[in-house]
Structure 1
Amino acid sequence: MSFQHPLRNSSVGVSLSSAPPEKIADDPWANKTPQSTVTCSYHAYVAGYWRAVTVFWCKNLMNHTLNLIINNLEGEACYNCKIDLKPWLFWSKKGGKSFELEGCQVDINWDFRSAKFSGSPEPASDYYVAIVSDEEVVLLLGDYKKKAYKRTKARPALVEAILYLKKENVFHRKTFSTRAKFDERKNEHDIIVESSTGGPRDPEMWISIDGIVVIHVMNLQWKFRGNQTVMLSRQPVQVFWDVHDWLFSTPGTGHGLFIFKPGFSRTRR
């Protein structure tokens, strides 16, 4: 399955038909090996300029890695920090790296020693990853914020990094769950997608947000592509899906695409 969560930046949503100002880095070393990935794209103030920073989590049978990719001003990847979350013996799950970006020192520190996971390659809690530039923590991941500031001895950024796109590719049979924000000022929402594509009954699909079924698609073999707008706390969210390959590909090989986009459709009058 592939799940995309374009996020709202202040009052401006990411359009399905237009790209963000910077190029979103491709998933590194993409191949046909079954793997689950989470890609988060940020705008962060690094080395004196706003830049695109891509956070790429990847897990398969052999490896579990994190890549932090920082773009130059032309929107091209200029630095990639790779961290092994499943390290070999004698390797530490706590560490740091430093590099120079256009004359400015940038530091990256992390601690995954107590990290907890819940099926996703991205940790659920008890960790931190901090990018430091000009003595400011310009991008902070995880919930160990106090430990991150103590380790880096840096102050919080005056303007926090902005998450503008989250994309997930996961391998699950019938159920997938994730969390996503549709407004930076509000809390995350729990999203669950369930499907029934086998057996004698017609295939169906359910999409739940915060424990409430907001979309129920019956006769999925005829409605494998579609979209619907749902309301979350008076906020409209467009939901798009394409599960053609779930139904018409070799079992276990088909992908599903889901996009959750804040705001009404542009065609709405």
Structure 2
Amino acid sequence: MVIIMKDFPSCFGENGVQVADSSSSSSSSSSSAAKAAQNLVTCVYQCKLHGRSCLITVTWTKSLMGQGLSVAIDDSANQCLCKVDIKPWLFSKRKGSKILEVDSGKIDICWDLSNARFGSGPEPVEGFYLAVAFDQEMMLLLGDLKKEAYKKIDTSAPVNSDAIFIAKREHIFGKKFYGAKAQFCDKGQMHDVIIECDTVDLKDPCLVIRIDSKTVMQVKRLKWKFRGNHTILVDGLPVEVFWDVHNWLFGNAMGNAVFMFQTCLSAEKLWASQSIFDPSVLTWSSSQKFRDHQVQGHGFSLILYAWKHE
């Protein structure tokens, strides 16, 4: 079984994550990686720029310094057109805007999180908006304060943007249970995802994945099957689940496992087209082939990095 995850734009280069054998890393580097992961969620949306396809990457962060936000726009040639970092705030920068000149036009990025309400993660739940527009035409609009966003952009009569949610990456933490909220397709139903795996003092640990409290996957003899893939059904759609728990079982205490949920695309067809296979690597980087599948609306990817709290 082979796993190579090559997908999203060049803007992600500095955030690429690789899971490798413990022999290639030390406990100090793993500890640093865990601290760097902090509380971070990255979402990717397919949008239109001048009628051409582009990707907008939104990263929400939460740390001791407060909330943070980053917006990157990547064109159809995998080139990063622009990137705006809104540093963590405590009492400022919860509301603002940026105007950028790009591609013979003007990109407006506006946000208002002054009254935003958050759950356990860094993503706001309600009471906010984040808007991205090109020449006053809305490309991406997130949040429930849509009227306020259109007033800020000063665009024509409000219409729904045609942005499509195609990927999400999230860091989750736990000892035995790891939870996340997830949609498995654009505008799909929200589900509770629970990953259960107890590796402490067990000779034969087991991996269990539940969707909305229903067990959809169970892997026994995990020390022999620490990497693999399995197809489940969610909302009537086939979802391919890939896992790599090598660091949990054989790495240091701060190691993380990686889980990828991929809808619609057949993993066999996708991976068979790749010329280089390395079962010890599961990365988030750039590949035109996989990106083309995503842009055509044929799949959604959810990647979860599960960090173990001792």
Interval containing the TM-score (normalised by the shorter chain): 0.7 to 0.9
The answer on whether the counterparts of 1:39 and 1:57 sit within 8 Å (CA) in structure 2 is yes
Summarize the Cα distance change of 1:221–1:202 in structure 2 as closer, same or farther, 3 Å threshold.
same
Query: Gapped runs of 5+ residues in structure 2?
Result: 17-31, 270-310
Structure 2 distance, partners of 1:250, 1:169, is 18
Counterpart in 2 of 1:99?
Answer: 100
Counterpart in 2 of 1:78?
Answer: 81
Describe how 1:38-49 pairs up with structure 2 within 5 A: 38-47=41-50, 49=52
Taking only aligned residues, the RMSD between alpha carbons, in angstroms, comes to 2.8
Counterpart in 1 of 2:22?
Answer: none
Q: Does 1:178 align with 2:164?
A: no
Greater relative contact order structure (CA < 8 Å, 6+ sep): 2
The answer on whether the counterparts of 2:42 and 2:169 sit within 8 Å (CA) in structure 1 is yes
Task: Report deviation, 1:124.
Answer: 2.8
Summarize the Cα distance change of 1:126–1:172 in structure 2 as closer, same or farther, 3 Å threshold.
farther
Task: Report deviation, 1:266.
Answer: 5.3
User: Per residue, is there more helix in 1 or in 2?
Assistant: 2
The answer on whether the counterparts of 2:10 and 2:79 sit within 8 Å (CA) in structure 1 is no
Structure 1 distance, partners of 2:15, 2:185, is 31
Counterpart in 1 of 2:67?
Answer: 64
- SS class of match (2:174): coil
Structure 2 distance, partners of 1:185, 1:87, is 30
Counterpart in 1 of 2:132?
Answer: 131
Q: Deviations over 1:177-218 (max 9, x none)?
A: 222222335323221212211145632222111221111223
- SS class of match (1:170): strand
- SS class of match (1:64): strand
The answer on whether the counterparts of 1:27 and 1:39 sit within 8 Å (CA) in structure 2 is no
Counterpart in 1 of 2:217?
Answer: 215
- SS class of match (1:69): strand
Summarize the Cα distance change of 1:176–1:117 in structure 2 as closer, same or farther, 3 Å threshold.
farther
Summarize the Cα distance change of 1:81–1:223 in structure 2 as closer, same or farther, 3 Å threshold.
same
Counterpart in 1 of 2:29?
Answer: none
The answer on whether the counterparts of 1:202 and 1:219 sit within 8 Å (CA) in structure 2 is yes
Summarize the Cα distance change of 1:267–1:130 in structure 2 as closer, same or farther, 3 Å threshold.
closer
Task: Report deviation, 1:256.
Answer: 0.8
Question: With structure 1 as the length reference, what TM-score do the two structures score?
Answer: 0.79
Q: Deviations over 1:152-182 (max 9, x none)?
A: 3334456511222212233433322222222
Structure 1 window deviating more from structure 2 (151-160 vs 116-125): it is 151-160
Task: Report deviation, 1:267.
Answer: 4.3
Task: Report deviation, 1:226.
Answer: 1.9
Query: Gapped runs of 5+ residues in structure 1?
Result: 1-15
- SS class of match (2:147): helix
Which portions of structure 1, spanning 4 or more consecutive aligned residues, are displaced by more than 6 angstroms? none
Summarize the Cα distance change of 1:200–1:178 in structure 2 as closer, same or farther, 3 Å threshold.
closer
Counterpart in 2 of 1:241?
Answer: 243
Counterpart in 2 of 1:6?
Answer: none
The answer on whether the counterparts of 2:191 and 2:211 sit within 8 Å (CA) in structure 1 is yes
Q: Deviations over 1:32-85 (max 9, x none)?
A: 34323222222212355322221122334445321101124532213111113x
Structure 2 distance, partners of 1:143, 1:24, is 30
Task: Report deviation, 1:87.
Answer: 1.5
Counterpart in 2 of 1:120?
Answer: 121
Summarize the Cα distance change of 1:42–1:242 in structure 2 as closer, same or farther, 3 Å threshold.
same
Counterpart in 1 of 2:303?
Answer: none
Structure 1 distance, partners of 2:168, 2:229, is 19
Describe how 1:170-209 pairs up with structure 2 within 5 A: 170-184=172-186, 186-200=188-202, 202-209=204-211
The answer on whether the counterparts of 2:166 and 2:185 sit within 8 Å (CA) in structure 1 is no
The answer on whether the counterparts of 2:165 and 2:185 sit within 8 Å (CA) in structure 1 is no
Structure 1 window deviating more from structure 2 (168-177 vs 120-129): it is 168-177
Task: Report deviation, 1:227.
Answer: 1.6
Question: With structure 2 as the length reference, what TM-score do the two structures score?
Answer: 0.70
- SS class of match (2:36): coil
Summarize the Cα distance change of 1:99–1:153 in structure 2 as closer, same or farther, 3 Å threshold.
same
